Amino acid sequence: MKKEIAIVGVGQSAFVRGYPGNIRELAFEAYKEAMEDAKITPKEIDATLLCSAPEYDKQRTPAGLIAEYLGLNPQPAFYVESVCSSSSTGLRIAYSLIKSGLHDTVIVLGLQKMSEITSAESQERMGRGADIMWEAPFGTMMPAYYAMYARGHMNKYGTTEEDLALIRVKAASYGMLNEKAVYRKPVKLEDALNADMIATPLKKFDCCANADGASCIIVTNKDKAKEYSKKPIWILGLGAATAPINMAGRDTFTGLRCAQVAAKMAYEMAGVTPNDIDVAEVHDCFTIAEMMAYEDLGFAKPGEGKRLIREKETYKEGKIPINVDGGLLSKGHPIGATGGSQIRTIVMQLRGEAGPMQVKDPEIGLVHNIGGVGIYGNVTILGR
């Protein structure tokens, strides 16, 4: 496990349903927290990666806007987009820029203000994340896509609606502890099971909510990391993969191939196995997404992910704590900011700074961030 590039600062705005300010101010909230965390000045930032999904704001070039507002001119600024996995893709690019020697210190700033448009407009934008010739015109929506995977998993492995509801119960129990989460209420199992149907078999509590939010990660090289931080968190492994955008091109509906391939790459780069992971953040946009992540990441064999949630092995005290910050199901899902928020959580866990959400003495953490319905998959392994 080479320790060459590290995260020295993390920040996040509160995730909310309707942020009252503009995207400049939203970005600043996460940036300010990260800079204070790293204890550095704008002069020490060599480049900015602004990560978001397009068409939620009228601003044509948000990277330039944000760089100016944050006082980061004349350093270069880049725009990164892989829909819901944009800011973990940003981390991968930051790693590459620093490893190449082009830059020493880079900020990865994830951002989305989804309330700029209506809920119906947002669903239409998400639907166009699919092929606009062969799928999106027929009204495809994110809940329906993941419902296909839920039905596939249930048919092949006997997974039940209660298994999925148990995932939401867990998420809500930790969302209550997370002051930056949108949803901070408990969810009873019977309420989850009896909630309104969204896309069979997924009900209201099986789905995450849209949100406004920003996240910021400060990444630097080995020499700067030791200068800036007493607790640098090292990037040990990076995996990334894609899958056909069209569902007709997929060969399975019980897991996400892009996640499986990305996980294999990340484990090999870090020189670790699933058994070495002490805490993980997975992309739980829907409860079935978390269930599949258990298996795609190797924490359970195919079809056995349900055992982990039934036996509470993914709770804070379990064998593999997962989403103990509430996950997307409780935090909300501001598309461009989500991956950075997941990374922030793991950084805080590895530093021992996660407060009531803290897992006991973790050394290695994992972040699983998916773009679209398994179009893009990023897996990141971090160590202290």
Active site residues: 84, 333
The encoded tokens of residue 322 equal 């997962």
Distances (CA, A) of 195 to 192, 209, 248: 5, 15, 31
- The torsion defined by the Cα of 359, 333, 131 and 302, in degrees rounded to 10, comes to 30
**Spatial contact of 185 and 326, defined as CB atoms under 8 Å apart:** no
3-class DSSP assignment, residue 75: coil
Nearest CA to 272 out of 281, 263, 280 is that of 263
Q: What is the 3-state secondary structure (H, E, C) of 93-154?
A: HHHHHHHHCCCCEEEEEEEEEHHHCCHHHHHHHHHCCCCCCCCHHHCCCHHHHHHHHHHHHH
**Spatial contact of 257 and 250, defined as CB atoms under 8 Å apart:** yes
The encoded tokens of residue 56 equal 């939620």
- The torsion defined by the Cα of 208, 209, 211 and 213, in degrees rounded to 10, comes to -20
Distances (CA, A) of 258 to 84, 131, 292: 14, 17, 12
Longest dimension (CA), the chain: 57
**Spatial contact of 380 and 88, defined as CB atoms under 8 Å apart:** yes
